[in-house]
Amino acid sequence: MRLLHIVTAAVFSLGSLMAALLSAAGAEAAGLSVRQDTAGVTVEADGKPFAVYVIDQGNKPFLWPIIGPTGKPMTRAYPMRDLADEPAAQRDHLHHRGITFGHESVGAADWNFPETWEGLTGAETYRGGGDTWHERATFEEFIDQGKMPDRNRARLPTVGRIVHREFTRVAVDGDRAVIEEVCDHVDPADRPFLVEHRRLTFRAENDSRTIDIDQEFSCAEADGTTAAGPVTFDDRKDAGLFIRVPTSMAVDSKQGGRIVNSEGQVDKDAWSKPARWCDYHGPVAGEHLGIAILNHPASHRHPTRWHVRTYGLFAANPFASRQYDAALPDGTTTLAPGDVLRLHHRFLFHKGDERTGAVEEAWKTYAAETPRRP
């Protein structure tokens, strides 16, 4: 039975969830191990859970659960599990699944949608091939609850998908576990507009765990020989590689959570600002733990800007500019046929705050490395 499905549909406390995860892992040889099945890949460290890469839920692949260096869960459980420990105020944004990637408005220029909707900051025209950030359930939830009953109806037809095509490598390589994958970004009519080569690298040490995510994007081929591009990544704040942090860690939970970036900006002041790294830390099941995202110098538009929110969203987003600040230039990115756009990030799960976790030192080590190619 897959690790992801060992917890029953009943509501569990976080303690019960962890007990079930650890029990299901079983005893295996020391070090990292990987186990692949039709639903994804399970990664374990010393025979205990580390992460599960899920390819059969939602509208894109994601990592959940993710277990930190002390055995605690390092993401919010909702919507994969609806836990009593997570208050109603934190059971929002159905598309915030563990660690994942998406973009609100991206696609080939000739596949535009004519719809215009009234957004939170005024009328916004959708001109992408697919919204892969959100899920249809996101807008359906708003409509059902009457929060935004009409303005999101026009957005339902724009929701696209990131579809797992194949794993090209799933292996343990020395002190690391590696997953290499090809994904197709498809529009609502299932037409591919982007091909993504993705590499996930897992390491486990005594006081920390890391997950590197290296991504390469290129224009899809319309007929197997001709590129369908160019592809446009619109200037949108809802875009990039992101994690939803544990509920108790969120600043808004008022239990001691904190956001800080490499420039010393904290909490709300860190939102939208460019930085080499950003750290989110706070209490998790009786311990003070942290999550840092490190942005490699070779990554597109380093240093990236951060769509990091006090309610718990934590995203590295190099695509937004003017939507962060009207005084900034338009950040729209156009990918021409034959070109490649590369993103390189490292997730560092650590003990304590950014100082205890030595995040700046970890970034310097990461920045000196040659980024891996998927």
Average pLDDT value over all residues in the chain: 86
Q: Is the pLDDT of residue 1 over 70?
A: no
Least confident of 148-152, 167-171, 283-287: 148-152
Q: pLDDT tens digit string along 68-110?
A: 999 999 999 999 998 888 888 888 888 999 999 999 988 876 5
Q: Is the pLDDT of residue 224 over 70?
A: no
Q: What pTM value is reported for the model?
A: 0.87
Q: pLDDT tens digit string along 19-35?
A: 334 333 332 334 999 99
Say which DSSP state 167 is in: E
- φ, ψ of residue 209 to 5 degrees: the values are -135, 145
Name the amino acid, one letter, at 83. Answer: L
- φ, ψ of residue 292 to 5 degrees: the values are -115, 140
CA atoms of 328 and 33, how far apart (whole Å): 46
Give the start-to-end residue ranges of the domains of the chain: 87-368
Q: pLDDT tens digit string along 106-149?
A: 887 655 444 444 443 444 555 556 899 999 888 877 666 665 55
Tally of CB atoms within 10 A around 318:
23
- Listed in sequence order, the residues at least 6 apart from 48 whose beta carbon sits closer than 8 Å to its beta carbon are 22, 25, 67, 71
**pLDDT at 80 (0 to 100):** 93
**pLDDT at 16 (0 to 100):** 39
**pLDDT at 148 (0 to 100):** 57
